A = this chain, B = another copy of it.
């Protein structure tokens, strides 16, 4: 079954689309054909998967005929327009934009955390926001063991989360500053080189950014528990790849730092890197290009009865986007769900 899947990649020329093709290849994803889709600007460009050179095809309303599975990473507007068209033509969509995440008809899935939510999909499945995914991987085992009441998280997010142009902007700004030239800021409202911007996505009326509120709302949906409270400060830092998070957790039951270490060490998708005596702790430059969510700096927070601090790092383009999307597709195959009900 499912051995001859036809897979479309929407947004195949973007940072995440490119990474999706790599992940399909690296994991030997069982497809018979991959169709790279993009806007008319990119038509004719070449991409590669499993050693095969593929020509990018224009994304249109007819792109999904005969396609079993479409992985979208082409921005919210494209997803809003084309995901329902794809689903209507019988193609299961896994969407990496924010367009469908909070839609009650769409499961929001981290395969290590809530694979069972795929069972009720109606054709469109949403991939959570990058900063939420790695947090969920690290929090789920703790929530299952000791029930999480409250999380205070501060993020240190890489520029690759804003796409290829932001990667170039950081590099260009650094080059200009080191040669004494004024910087040009285009993707971000301010200089990002050698700076920190406490501003990711747009500001909401409550003073939080949309990125911060995504962590609040997506956590509840993915965990399936409206009682988990999250408050977040999301900050862009001059790092190319890899989001880091300082996470403070209050649980119902007491867990020691050792309890958390043992618990997470045996949990899926996590690598513990917590050897202060060897100066070993998670860092974005090490996590970049890797699949795991790295957890370290695990220590008890003595300011509350049941508190834990930890430091969580993962590649925002892989686990935070492309890898999680492909893992959702793999789980759909495993559970025989690559069909629109």
The interface of chain A, by Cβ under 8 A from chain B, is 150, 152, 154, 156, 170-171, 174-175, 178, 189-191, 194-199, 203, 206-208, 229-231, 233, 235, 237-240, 244, 246, 248, 257, 276-277, 279, 281-285, 296-304, 307, 309, 311, 313
Residues of chain B within 8 A (CB-CB) of A233 are 154, 246, 248, 297, 309, 311
Are A283 and B207 within 8 A (Cβ)? Answer: no
Q: Is the CB of A189 within 8 A of B237?
A: no
Residues of B within 8 Å of A203, CB to CB, are 276-277
Report the bound CA distance from A277 to B202 in whole Å: 9
With A152-B303, A198-B296 given, can you name 11 additional A-B contacts, CB distance below 8 Å? A152-B152, A154-B233, A156-B235, A174-B174, A190-B279, A194-B284, A196-B239, A197-B283, A233-B246, A233-B297, A235-B244
> Please, how many angstroms separate the alpha-carbon atoms of A174 and B179 in the complex?
12
Is the beta-carbon distance between A156 and B207 smaller than 8 angstroms?
Answer: no
- Chain B's closest residue to A241 (CB) is B194
What are 10 A-B residue pairs whose CB atoms fall within 8 Å in the complex?
A152-B248, A154-B233, A178-B178, A194-B238, A194-B239, A196-B244, A197-B281, A197-B283, A206-B299, A231-B309
Write out the residue numbers on chain B whose beta carbons fall within 8 Å of the beta carbon of A281. Answer: 197-199
Count of chain copies: 2
Cross-chain contact A196 with B156 (CB below 8 angstroms): yes
List of B residues within 8 angstroms of A313 by Cβ: 196
- Whether B174 pairs with A178 at a CB distance below 8 angstroms is yes
Check B284–A229 contact: CB distance below 8 A.
no
Say whether B196 contacts A279, CB under 8 Å.
no
**B residues within 8 A CB of A283?**
190, 195-198
A231/B248 contact (C-beta < 8 A), A196-B156, A207-B299, A277-B203 known: yes
Residues of B within 8 A of A297 (CB): 198, 207, 233
- In the bound assembly, the distance between CA atoms of A284 and B156 in angstroms comes to 14
Distance in Å: Cβ of A328 to nearest Cβ of chain B:
28
Closest to A238 in B: B238
Which residues of the partner chain B approach A298 to less than 8 Å between Cβ atoms? Answer: 207
Select from chain B the residue with minimum beta-carbon distance to A247.
Answer: B233
Whether A189 lies near B279 (C-beta < 8 A) is yes
Complex CA gap A282/B196 in Å reads: 9
**Cβ-neighbour of A303 out of B230, B282, B302 (below 8 A):** B230
Q: In the docked arrangement, what's the CA distance between A297 and B196, Å?
A: 13
Q: Which residues of B contact A284 (CB under 8 A)?
A: 194-196
> Chain B residues with Cβ under 8 A from A301's Cβ?
152, 231
| A160 → chain B closest CB, angstroms | 11
Nearest 4 CB-CB pairs, A to B? A207-B299, A154-B154, A229-B303, A203-B276
Shortest A138–chain B CB gap in Å is: 14
Bound Cα distance A183, B197 (Å) = 26
**Complex formed: what's the CA distance from A300 to B296 in Å?**
29
Chain B residues whose C-beta falls within 8 Å of the C-beta of A231 in the assembled complex: 248, 301-303, 307, 309
Chain B residue at minimal CB-CB distance from A243 = B196
**CA distance in complex: A307, B192 (Å):** 29
Contact of B276 with A156 in the complex, beta carbons under 8 Å: no
With a CB–CB cut-off of 8 A, which chain B residues contact A197? 281, 283
Taking each of A196, A207, A238, A277, which has the highest tally of chain B beta carbons within 10 Å of its own beta carbon? A196
Q: Are B208 and A299 in contact (CB under 8 A)?
A: yes
